[in-house]
Amino acid sequence: MSGVIQGILFDKDGTLFDFNATWAVWAFDFLTDITEGDASKAAFLGGTLGFDYARKSFHPESPVIAGTAEEIAHYIRPFLPELSDTELLERMNGSAAAAPQVEAVPLAPLLSQMRAAGLRLGVATNDAEMPAKSHLGRAGVLELFDFVAGFDSGFGGKPAPGQLLAFADEAGIDPADAVMVGDSLHDLRAGRAAGMRCVGVLTGLASGPDLSEDADVVLPDIGFLPDWLRQEGLWPS
């Protein structure tokens, strides 16, 4: 351990991008499309995912918040017999890749500041890799990351630490010199399992008390991260 942070690994949804502002729109549009406009069936499928179709909002316990695409598909697959598992996943991933992303804070200046300080940056998401890279590319920040992994990138998904350890290995740093930043317990527990410092943010659906037990600190959003790292003496000089 060097005493300063050498790398920061971010969750994507609810961390880099505001969760409800992004995925409530996606869920409503996807369910409308997959049911061919049958509002009653769309509302029923939404209920299985912890999504209120009429109000366009997620329940805090929704499996969509931290689940992989395969896990999410598992909940609705029995009610869509006309689609194979592959077809359903392809439609989900295609729809997700086109979902409008709402940045939690202006990403380019914040991430550029971190890169200028010499930090290695990565993304570990339970989304698939293809839509994740599409979202980052549309936000104009994909090239600022050294590492982007989805649940299908070969390292597993969170809360297991595989993605996080792969980032540390790719970056050539000790996991103890990295920070995992996320909005869910899956993120923070993956960070703990990997031996990283853990920062919770409130741009997802979890509350501060939900996250505090597994986080070194809970911040309103990732924009507060540089000041916290400086305060703790962890920012590279």
Own/partner pairs, 195-203, CB within 8 angstroms, 24+ separation? 196/9, 196/164, 196/168, 197/5, 197/234, 199/225, 199/228, 201/14, 201/15, 201/104, 203/14, 203/15, 203/17, 203/18, 203/19, 203/104
- In this prediction, residue 93 has a pLDDT band, given cuts at 50, 70 and 90, of confident
pLDDT over threshold 60, residue 230: yes
- What does the block give as tokens for 71? 């896990």
Q: What is the pLDDT of residue 23?
A: 86
Name the band, by pLDDT with cuts 50, 70 and 90, for residue 2: low
pLDDT for 194 = 98
The mean per-residue pLDDT over the stretch 81-104 comes to: 89
Pairing of the two strands 57-58 and 120-124: unpaired
Report how many helices (DSSP H) and strands (DSSP E) the chain contains, helices first: 10, 8
How many angstroms separate the CA atoms of 197 and 187, rounded? 11
Backbone torsion region of residue 62, taken as left when φ is above 0, otherwise alpha when ψ lies between -120 and 50, otherwise beta: beta
pLDDT above 70 (res 1)? no
Q: Decide: 76 and 49 in contact? Cβ < 8 Å.
A: yes
SS3 205: coil
Beta strands 197-201 and 7-10: pairing type? unpaired
- In tens, the pLDDT along 124-156 reads 999 889 989 999 999 999 999 999 999 999 999
Residues 6+ apart with CB under 8 A from 104: 14, 15, 16, 17, 18, 201, 203, 221, 222, 223
Place of tokens 């649940």: 151
CB 18 within 8 A of CB 104: yes
* Total residue count of the chain as it appears in this document: 237
Question: What's the whole-model pTM score?
Answer: 0.85
Do 58 and 51 form a contact (C-beta atoms < 8 A)? Answer: yes
Let me know: does 83 contact 175? Beta carbons within 8 Å.
no
Q: For 43-70, what is each residue's pLDDT tens digit?
A: 999 999 999 999 999 988 898 887 888 8
